[in-house]
Structure 1
Amino acid sequence: MSVFAQKPLAELKFVSIHSKPIIGYGHKGAEDVRFGYEGGTSQKVNGVYYLFTTEVVDTPKTARVRMAIWSSKDGVKFTKKSIIAKSNGNWYDSTYRMATWSPMSVFDTERNVWSVFSVGYRRKPDATNVYNMSGRILRHDSKVKGIKGIAGPYQEGGWLNVEKKPDWWEGPGEIVSFFPYKIGEEWWAFYGGNSVPEHVEAAATPNPNEKNVFYNGLMKAEKGLTGKWERQSKLNPVPMDPEFVENCIAIRVAPKLYITVYDGANEHEISYACSKDGLHWGKEQLIKYPMRPNG
C-alpha cells in the first residue's frame, strides 16, 4: 500500500472574483429584502444566466422568505425575473409551508420542463428556537415547455415521493437539502439530514463540546423525477467530510468526472469533492478565497 495520498481527480480554482455583491442593497427588486440571500442554483441558457435563490425578506428570518429568479446577460448585472413561491411566514404554523429554501433547478428531459426542488420547512414540535426546523422536498415545474421555460412562470408539482424510513444518520430534521443529477439515463440525488435535537430552547446556552453533524446521502429515482425515490443505504452517508456537508450541487464535467460543490461550514473556503462514477466520492477539497468580496 502506498504511503502517499491519492491524487485528487480534479482541482478547482477561481478565475476571477467580482469585488461587490451582484444582488443586494440598492438593486431594483431588492428593496424589501432585509436580510439578504441564501443558497440556490445558477444556470446558463441561450447565453443568459439565471440565478435561483432564497430571499430573506423579514423576521423571523427562517419563515419570512421567498424563492426568486434573477437573470443576467453578463453574469454580473442581474435583474429580477419572477417569484417562484413564497412561504406563509408563520413561525407557529406546524406545516411544511412555514418556510421555503434552497431552490435547486434542473431540466427534466423526459417531461421537457424545468423543475425546481426546494425544502419546505415546519417548526419542530414545541421548539422555541426559530432555527429548529424539519423539512420535506417540494417540486415546482415550469409552465412553459422546453429549455426556454427556465424564466418561469412555475407551478407547484408535488412533494418528493420517497420511502418513509430514514437512515440512522438523518436525524429529526428529516430532509433538509436535495439536488438531483443524472448518471447515464438514471436520476440520482444528494439529500441531507442533521443531528440537531428535536427540541432546542431559544435561550439555551450552546455546549462547546457538542457538535451537530450534517451528512449527505444518495437517492435513486425508480421512474424519473416525479416517481418514487429510494435511499441508497449501502452508499450512505457519503464520506466527503465527517462533520458538515450541506446543499450539494453535482454535475458531470467529463466522461469519468463528476464534481459536487457544497457548504462545508468553512469560513473562507468553498468545499467540493470528485467522483469517477457519480456514486463513490473522494474526500473534501477546498477552494480558498484569494480575497474577500466587499459589501
Structure 2
Amino acid sequence: MKPFFKSIFRTSLCLFLCYYSATYAKTAIYDTKYEKPKDSLYRLIGHEYSTTRLSEFVNVFSGAKNSVARISKELEGLKVIKLPLSDGIVKAGSIKFNVKNSCYLLIGIFRDSAAKTNTSSLERIDYGKGRLTKEPLIKNAMSITGLPDIDIYAIAYKSGTHSLKWTDNLFMILGAVQSLKDIKHRDGGCPDGRLWDPFIIEGFTAKKALFEVVEGPEQPVLDVGMEGAQDIQGGFEGGVCVKINGVYHMFPTERAGEKGMDYTYDRVKTRIGHWTSKDAVKWKRKSTVFQASGTYAITHDDNPLNDRRGAIWSYMPVFNDKTDTWYGYYLTYTVDKDIAPNHSFGRIWRTESQTKGIEGIGGPYNEGVVIMEPGLDTQLWEGRQGVDSFFPFQINNKEWLAFYGGAYPYQSFKDYPDKPGKGWFIGLAKSKSPEGPWTRMDTTINPIKTIHPWFIENPIVYKLSADCYITIFDGGPLSRDGYNWTEATYIPIETKVNKWWDIMRTPMCLIDEGNDMFTIVYAAINHNKRFHPIGKVKVKLNREVLKNRTDLIKH
C-alpha cells in the first residue's frame, strides 16, 4: 500500500475532505521561557497587506496555498505579514512601518538545498535604517509547503518610522521581537518544504471551514494489546466503518503479520476483521472475514503461478436494496519481495453476505468473484500495483459509478512489468448495477487529477445534500454529479484533539449522527510503535459553507 517515504507527505497534518477541503484559529502554545510576542512592537503604515499569527498550518502568503508544515518553537505567535506570492516569487514591493521601541524584525530567506549561502536573496532587500545580522539566527527554521529550506535573520530597528523595500525575491517578514536573548543560534532541523505539495487546510487556507473539529478521545480507541488485537502485530490500515441500528461495524485491514517475523511481513500477511461498537470507542472483534495467504510471488509478472491472494486489503461493504443483501468489495494482491511496490497486480472481488437483510452485514461472506483486474483494458496510470481500491456509489438514483485506484504507473506498456514510476491515482468506472459488469471510463476522464495531482488512495463517497457528494481519503473533495470533483481540502484535527499520532493514515468513515454531527474513525501511525492504532473524532458540518461551495461547483 503506502510506502513509508510517501507518508511524510501527510505527517502531522490532517484528516480529509475534498479536499483535500481543508475555519479554525489555532492558539499557539508557548514554552515558559519564550515571551509571547506583542502586537505593539511594530505597526504597518498605509499598506494593504494583512497579517496573521504564525503557527502550524497557517497560510503565510496571500494569493497562494503555501502553509506552515513545521515551525521552530521560538517563532510561534509572531505576526507574519502576508506578502503576495505568485509563481514562487514575491514581486517587488515595500512596506512602511512604525516602531515604538527598539526591536528586531525577523525575516525568512528561502534557500535551495544546493545553495550554501543566502547572499543573493539578502542583497535584493533594502533594509532602510535597519541593521541585518550577519548570520542566520535559526537555520532550517520552518517548513513551508512547496517551498525550499528557510533560514531566519534579524534586522535591528530603533524607534521611529522605517521602510523596507525589495525587488523580486522569495522571502517572508515574520514579525518582531523585543530582543534576541531567547533565540539561540541553531539548526531548527525542519525539512525542506518541497516534501509537501501546497494544499488547502480548513480554517487556515479556506476562510470558513466546511467541518469544524468538535472533540475526540485523547488516545487511540483501539491499540496494541487491547482485547481482540492481541495477535495483530502491525495494527490497522484502511477499510470502512458503517453504523446500523445504533451499532458501528468496522472492517479494517488487519496487518496481522506473524510473531517472530520482521515488521515488513505485517503488510503481507493481512486479513479483514469485523469489529462492532456502540460508541465507536469500545470495540469488540467479532470475526475474520477474509485471511490472506501471506505467500510471496515466484515470478515478477502477473503469472497464475503466483498466489494472487498473497495479501488482502480495503474491504468496502455496500448494501443492495434490490437484493436485500450486503455486497463486500475487497482487494487482493500478488506480493513481490524484490520489485516496488511489493503489492502488485491488484484485483477487486465482489462478495455477498449469506445472511439476508441489513443486519446481515456481519456475514458470513462467500469468496466472491473478480470484477476488475489487470487486462487488455488496463490504463497505464493503474501501473504495477494494479487496481488498488474500489468504492461504488449510486448517482441519479439509477446509475452506478465507482472510484478505483492504481499506483506505480507505467510510462508505456514496454515498461511492464518491472519499470514502474511513482504516483497514486484514481479513476472512474461505470455500471448499471452494483453487481457489474464494470467498465473503465476512458483516458479523457481517467485518471482524475483535480482532487490532487499525484496522490489519492482509498476514497469513500458520501452524499452530504441533495446535490453534493463528498469523497474522503486523506482529504475531502466535493462534487455535484460524481464525475467532476473539486480540489481536496484537509482537516487539522489536532487543533481540538491531543495529537497522539505522528502520521494520519486513513479515514474509514464519515457517519452522519444527526444535527450535522459526523463521526470519523481513522487509522494512524505512531513512529514509536510497530502497531498502527485506530482513532476517532467528531466534526460538525457548516451547512452555509456547504451551500456556498456547492453553488461554485460546475457540473
- Is the shorter-chain TM-score for this pair beyond 0.5, marking a shared fold? yes
Deviations 1:259-292 (A, max 9, x none): 00013xxxxxxx1100011111001111112242
What does 1:184-203 align with in structure 2 at a 5 Å threshold? 184-195=397-408, 198-199=417-418
Alignment partners' CA distance in 2, 1:136 and 1:243: 21
In 2, Cα distance between the equivalents of 1:111 and 1:122? Answer: 32
Asked if structure 1 preserves the Cα contact closer than 8 Å seen for 2:315 and 2:329, the reply is yes
**Is 2:382 the partner of 1:170?**
yes
Letter of the structure 2 residue corresponding to residue 238 of structure 1: I
1:232 to 422, 435, 441: 441
**Partner residue of 1:275 out of 476, 479, 498:** 479
Mapped to 2, the partners of 1:232 and 1:90 lie a distance apart of 33
1:88 aligns with 2:293: yes
Task: Name the CA distance, whole Å, in 1 between partners of 2:276 and 2:207.
Answer: 34
What's the counterpart of residue 293 of structure 1?
500
User: What's 2:471 paired with?
Assistant: 260
Contact 1:64 1:99 in 2 (8 A): yes
- The residue that corresponds to 1:204 in the other structure is none
| C-alpha separation in 1, matches of 2:468 and 2:382 | 27
- Among candidates 434, 442, 455, match of residue 244 of structure 1: 455
* Aligned counterparts of 2:207 and 2:236: Cα–Cα separation in 1: 32
The one-letter amino acid of 1:24's match is D
Task: Tell me which of 127, 133, 145 is aligned to 2:338.
Answer: 127
Instruction: Check whether the contact 2:460–2:472 (CA below 8 A) recurs between aligned residues.
Output: yes
Q: Percent of aligned positions with the same letter in both sequences?
A: 33
Task: State whether residues 9 and 275 of structure 1, in contact with CA within 8 Å, keep that contact through their aligned partners in structure 2.
Answer: no
1:142 correspondence with 2:353: yes
Shift of 1:14: 2.2
Q: In 2, are the aligned partners of 1:18 and 1:293 still within 8 Å (CA)?
A: no
Contact kept? 1:62, 1:130, Cα under 8 Å: no
Deviates more, 1:18-27 or 1:46-55: 18-27
Structure with greater contact order relative to length (CA < 8 Å, sep ≥ 6): 2
Secondary structure of residue in 1 paired with 2:279: coil
CA-CA distance at 1:211 after TM superposition: 6.9
In structure 1, distance between residues paired with 2:446 and 2:207: 21
How far did 1:109 drift? 1.6
CA distance in 1 between counterparts of 2:207 and 2:326 reads 33
- 2-structure distance, mates of 1:10, 1:282: 15
Question: Secondary structure at 1:61's aligned position in 2?
Answer: helix
Quickly say closer, same or farther: Cα 1:161–1:167, change in 2 above 3 A.
closer
Shift of 1:21: 1.6
Corresponding pairs, count: 274
Distance in 1, Cα, partners of 2:219 & 2:376: 44
Do residues 221 (structure 1) and 431 (structure 2) align? yes
CA contact (8 A) 1:10 1:274 kept: no
Say if 2:391 and 2:460, in contact at 8 Å, map to a contact too. yes
Change over 3 Å in CA distance of 1:53–1:148 after alignment to 2? same
| Match status 1:151 vs 2:356 | no
1:156 maps to amino acid: E
**Cα distance, 1:164 vs. partner?**
3.9
| Counterpart secondary structure, 1:169 | helix
Counterpart AA for 2:423: V
* Structure 1 residue 212 displacement after superposition: 1.3
Superposed displacement of residue 47, structure 1: 0.5
Give the superposition deviation at 1:26: 2.6
Counterpart residue number, 1:206 = none
| Larger-Rg structure | 2
Deviation at 1:137, TM superposition (A): 0.4
Question: In 2, Cα distance between the equivalents of 1:250 and 1:172?
Answer: 25
Structure 2 CA distance for partners of 1:251 and 1:174, relative to 1, 3 Å: same
Unaligned runs of 5+ in 2: 1-62, 66-205, 299-305, 411-416, 502-525, 527-555
2:313 corresponds, among 101, 107, 122, to 101
Report what 1:113 is aligned to: 325
1:181 matched to 2:382: no
Contact 2:347 2:372 in 1 (8 A): no
Of the structure 1 ranges 83-92 and 153-162, higher mean CA displacement relative to structure 2 is found in: 153-162
Q: 1:105 to 1:259 in 2, by over 3 A?
A: same
1:53 matched to which residue of 2?
252
Whether 1:71 aligns to 2:281 is no
Check conservation: 1:24, 1:36, Cα contact below 8 A.
yes
Residues 109 and 161 from structure 1, CA distance in 2 versus in 1: closer, same or farther, beyond 3 angstroms? farther
